[in-house]
Chain A
């Protein structure tokens, strides 16, 4: 039976392939065009969006989305992003203001200065004190139960006041304590109670509650929450979609050591700035970013026979070439796996990039060319000779070669078409996009323009054919139900539950742009559960409008999984 079913499915798929050409030329109706544009160029339509685009004209709307700098940003978003102060900090500032335990130790030892902001300094000194207390009291169990910790701080009456009544009353009870004591109490609260107060707390107190989980954690939280808030609220939707696309293309993993502090700046400066710019600029921004240099180990790559290779002394460890970045640059960032390069090219590229390093990654340092690590010899990359002695310029020459390579034009165009048009985009469309890429020296806006002017983008073959990613399904559900996001951590968790933990794709491939990645039982079930939770207003921090009783399943319906 089962085998027959598979056979049947196979035949359907083969027929579908033949039908493709026809379905990608058959055009959709004018109304569907608006839906298609909203589904593909935004994180899903909000109530009223369709009418609005219709009134203003689809062409004009698309043109604006292609020029985000001309769109005034949503004041609601600006207000919501304000408390997330890490999002505007440099990596250096992040390390100092939200230090990991190791950095706190260095601050105490006087190797790293304390932050200049007095409040922040106070918070960090408290962490130091807490750590010292733990060290001094080695006999005590490392984690006393929350009740005991509370009991040591408060009278039974005071504890009761934090436990009973409405969340607002509990908040009032907490706020009645002197400022310094509040922080101690927050630290001693069991997680459930803390979360309850968090939900109703004003921004400043929320920040302090978050801080008790460790300052380093705030950095990650802000990044994740910021992504959700922007996706839900930004008026510059295409820019958001593309920031997601390009970050994923040039993926880094937030939990790999120093990248915890390097990713915020990476997304803001290397990715977001260039999403509609020249590919060559985007590529260089990523290549020189500390986040990428750290993630793919290039900062440690050392040319053989360089001074750095022997720095460990005659008997010490010999450092050597690391091909990680060189390989992924060719395979994933530019030419593609079938782009026509050899293992020899990978090694040569890696040699060119030796010395592209970071000035102390753990302190949030920037790009640094480390002469002592650089392989001075001649290299040949994809048949192009790079003369000896080029130094830092070697890497730039490699970027010139690969950014303008026809394989790159094709690979990038196909990936864009896969994200925006269909899982298996028509080759003719990809070819036209690649031609634009080559003609315009990799102008991303122009390539997307070609795609948006194509008949394929507006065809029946493309319409409603894409399976939403977890991020897309979560955000589009909030947008469709006119949700208000007070805080986004629960939504962040939902996206992870559905299978796409944000900033945490460990592999350099990023998440796939096709349905295959998301079509599995656990993911599907999580989608249904999310729909029920969201429409029942059971996702903490989010309030949706309840229109009628059918909504609770509508957001989990098969149709809603598609875009």
Chain B
């Protein structure tokens, strides 16, 4: 607590100079002065392109899996005859992790990582665009929703509000964070500034005087966020020992989310994405630890485990959830790949998460058990997972507003 206040005062005084303190600083100082409980943080990671859940969380106890994927399956764990490093890492005797996700195994064992399987959006679409749109809006089948579930999940602001309450790493504000609540997109913390200070001051004056109320309000948010982020940027960031973020966009994104969290600037929602999961061709190489999926999962697993290591005790206040628009066909196609499918898996990681378990009802992979005769059947709605996190972790009491027309059924994840 003391550290935080000192930081705020230092950085704050450094930037205020002449004139009045910016609004956000006033808010932050105010917040620091009151012994309010630390804000819970929800981090969502979107795997764009439809990740192949069946090769990520491998149902090695299901013999149909090996029948459907004669050349691209992940072999049974080494305890069952598989080759170490090239086969599934057993979780519970039935499911196993892809070998590239080895860094996540300890988190599962320590019961901080939960997996939900056969989960996803109930909408039957196999269009990336539609399915991502539905998952981000949180209203499957309803295109007219103009805001995202994550924005709606922001609780009614009490008192002062941080300008970086909801942050997306990336050039554009994703669908899921659009809406009435203030949210910012940034490519990086350091880049979020007008690089010429004199010009910045002039711009601020001009926009403040603008007759366009929306432009004026957006500009105000922009300048507040800039001031705050610049003050964070002044402190060089060194991740905790052992936290080695992979050199990849997701690694960079999670590292900056970590930096924002440690700076205690009132962030409650963070969003990052990782693309290129659409593996129609050459998904798997000669062995399961090679090929496009294996490479991408390596980055994915390393990024998550680095974030975990970096956050340390703070993980108590954080939940990370991953999702992808839909799964992929149960059967492999003719190009060592898979096509657009239906249900998928989600990862939930956090201090208050009841991990070490694969949640969800397994529907089976026998041909009569498949969705439309080809895909993993869906037994859990993705809103059940998100709804529980929004409600029990983030403490939003009104799920009706977040997922209109749906009543999430909690799995007991937190």
Query: Interface residues, chain A, CB within 8 Å of chain B?
Result: 2-3, 5-6, 9, 12, 312, 316-317, 324, 327, 337, 467, 496-497, 499, 501, 506-509, 515, 519-525, 528-529, 531-533, 536, 552-553, 556-558, 561-562
Contact = CB atoms under 8 A, between A and B. Distances in A.
Contacts of B172: 499, 520, 522-523
Interface string B175-218: 00000100011110000111110011011001100101111111
B203 A528 contact: yes
Nearest to A6: B180
A515 B186 CA distance: 19
B129 A506 contact: yes
Contacts of B171: 496-497, 499, 501, 522
Contacts, number: 96
A115 B214 CA distance: 54
A520 B214 contact: no
A316 B207 contact: no
Contact of A520 (B180, B202, B218): B218
A348 B210 CA distance: 51
A561 B216 CA distance: 12
A532 B129 contact: no
B333 A521 contact: no
Interface stretch (B221-229, B233-241, B350-358, B363-371): B221-229
Interface string B129-167: 100010000000001100000000000110001000000
Contacts of A9: 213-214, 217
Task: Give the 8 A-B CB pairs with smallest separation, nearest first.
Answer: A558-B210, A521-B222, A522-B185, A521-B184, A553-B202, A507-B129, A532-B196, A532-B199
Nearest to B208: A558
Contacts of A324: 127
B194 A317 contact: no
A492 to B, nearest CB: 14
A247 B59 CA distance: 45
A552 B186 contact: no
B15 interface: no
B206 A557 contact: yes
A552 B173 contact: no
A524 B222 contact: yes
B35 interface: no
A305 B77 CA distance: 41
B219 interface: yes
B334 A556 contact: no
Interface in B40-89: none
B225 to A, nearest CB: 6
B194 A525 contact: yes
B355 to A, nearest CB: 34
6 contacts: A5-B217, A327-B127, A525-B192, A525-B193, A553-B206, A556-B203
A312 B334 contact: yes
A539 B116 CA distance: 49
A553 B215 contact: no
A544 B193 CA distance: 23
Candidate in B129, B184, B193, B225 with the most chain A CB atoms within 10 angstroms: B129
Please classify how large the interface on chain B is, using the bins under 10, 10 to 19, 20 to 34, 35 or more: 35 or more
B195 A529 contact: yes
B218 A524 contact: yes
A339 B172 CA distance: 30
Nearest to A517: B172
Interface string B366-391: 00000000000000000000000000
A522 B188 CA distance: 10
A327 B123 CA distance: 15
B218 A2 contact: no
User: Which among B184, B186, B199, B225 has the greatest number of chain A C-beta atoms within 10 A?
Assistant: B199
A528 B129 contact: no
Contacts of A556: 199, 203
B195 A522 contact: no
A553 B222 contact: no
A337 B218 CA distance: 30
Contacts of A529: 194-195
Interface in B250-271: none
A522 B226 CA distance: 10
Contact of A317 (B180, B200, B214, B333): B333
B199 A528 contact: yes
Count chain B CB atoms within 10 A of each CB in A499, A501, A507 and give the residue with the most.
A507
Most chain A CB within 10 A, of B192, B194, B216, B333, is at B194
B199 A553 contact: yes
A558 B184 contact: no
Nearest to A331: B143
Contacts of B133: 507
B222 to A, nearest CB: 4
Contact of A532 (B156, B192, B194, B210): B194
Contacts of A499: 171-172
Max chain B CB contacts within 10 Å: which of A312, A496, A525, A529? A525
A12 B215 CA distance: 14
Nearest to A507: B129
Contacts of B214: 9, 515, 519
A557 B172 CA distance: 21
A552 B202 CA distance: 10
Given A312-B334, A523-B172, 19 more contacts: A2-B157, A5-B217, A316-B334, A324-B127, A501-B171, A519-B214, A519-B215, A520-B173, A522-B172, A522-B184, A522-B186, A522-B187, A524-B218, A524-B222, A525-B192, A552-B199, A556-B199, A558-B206, A558-B215
A508 B125 CA distance: 15
Contacts of B156: 3
Contacts of B144: 337
B331 to A, nearest CB: 8
Contact of B192 (A3, A6, A522, A557): A522
Contacts of B334: 312, 316-317
Residue among A327, A467, A522 facing the most chain B CB atoms (10 A cut-off):
A522
Contacts of B194: 525, 528-529, 532
Given A520-B173, A521-B221, A525-B222, A561 B215 contact: yes
Contact of B185 (A506, A521, A561): A521
